[in-house]
Structure 1
């Protein structure tokens, strides 16, 4: 009697579990099938509604009667273990193919494909993907025709897209830039030391709010300067798939016909609340760019200039060496004089910073900045020269120019922040 009662209790428990299991599957909004020995033994209303079949048309059939799989040329779709959903289509009763994803919770039989199938209807996703692809084509066409310079790079620096404005700006025929390395757009002095694609990745670094201005070269050898903003493109695994770069030509031509960088569009914002004249700003920038490009006797040189608010700057710094400008008349210390700028290239080899007044008078060279650098926070990769200049500009009304010894980039710093980078 006890054995009979015990068996009845077990049977009742199993029946309750089965009924509970059945209710869960039946009430799920996700389509489900239960497969045993390669045959469908159970389904739920969601699958019947999606496929259009009646229950008696599904139970007892093979899943192959309803499913077609992608990437199953060798029939190994169930024998190859994978945690990813299987992609395929359900052949609906009226003959319509419904795209789907199937996740299989394997059963105890050990037979490949046995278990509970959870089926996701992908019709809406497929429709949205089609709309997005069409939108992408339209955007691509608009970008191609836009006046703004737009290029797209692969992670290795290959140009995968360049619009008409980019081709025209660099002097290439439409379509000929695609497939070329981005290094063709840079002077050799830049590409010798670093991958130009890395320069664009620096622009897309969210830790820097600076607008980067790069020196480029045209197909005919002419120079131009372009202000770039860019963003990295990443896939679902957070892997870089490309960089989209949007630029504005900042080139102007001097009276002698030579190209030079135009600062008019962005200079005034930097000079606000300083005593620096536009002419002095341009002269110091030109000197920094020449030092960064040419160095001294073919060797790279790093240096820094503190411009404006000279009295306060001198109070917060001290001489490392004898001041080479001390005692010289003002006309021999004006940074706007070409011969003086040539002299700066030699003095740039000295340790310490140059101090320039807002009117362009070279007050000192070889100055050691005594301000605490913990006052500022700069993007990764910036050295002590950048930190010292940034700290000094954070407590004075000066503007700092820093020439990096590696790469020759010129960083313009105000109020403790890098506001422009020119490479």
Structure 2
């Protein structure tokens, strides 16, 4: 209901407060009350999670109250929810299987895969999840009102924005993978071999970032239309494919039928143990791409001109991202001569400066190609800054 009303900030703050409660339990309550302090921290987080949303629910008259059940509506909710629940479960099962397969190899394989998974989840949440969450309430409203053309147009616009941001994100992650991992994780017992392996897995998982972002949106578009069985069937097929690919590829490698030397050389992990874990990341990315492809085919059949509105954004994003990636790579090698890479600060500066160069080149290429999405993004940023300045001026006037 919070999302339907467009209160996305409130929706985002609630889980943050929940985590803050847990952190308080770890830092302050656990030393005082032992293990029970951790439990009370979770309780505190839950109370904060509920408390921040309660005023909104009160003002909108949405607090729970006892009523006579409408069994027909209950049945409809259950009927729609079961396929969605199974779909979410299947996605989590795939991740658990991937981690279980990684656990068969040397110590640190599970950590490397888990760390890489968490890192690639950040841009996915920022790009894919944010657009899909913002679009879902309006998609539901449009479809419910019978405005099918507006419904399709909104899917097209959101998909185009995900492509616009996710494609360069993939390239930047691949080029800057070592710097990202080293800055975020490179301390303590996390040595250089662990950094290289985690960075390689991160790059391979990031290859499916576009597919994952599009999948999140198209799945929610199906849910908005009440079509919960389609994501379930597609997820089931891709989940089975992902697991089979991982198991078969690892089996062939263990039998010596597949040589991973070429892959280790490309990902720069030669000499590092358990390069087989890279196959798990590749299998997951392939499965994610298959999921996105099947969903895309479904929407293409439902509305044939669907892909036409994405072509210009797709090829312009590809070209600009590749050029920006090349510029970022050159900048990395140039900056190496001026910073000390044996320190965390030096690696951070190298990655930051190279990333800035890449973003600047990316912007210039997009503008030269006449990309409309960069204009939309710049206009939105200007409006946001202008609104902020107006509010600051208004606040200062009121203060006087």
- TM-score calculated relative to the size of structure 1: 0.24
Higher helix share: 2
Higher strand share: 1
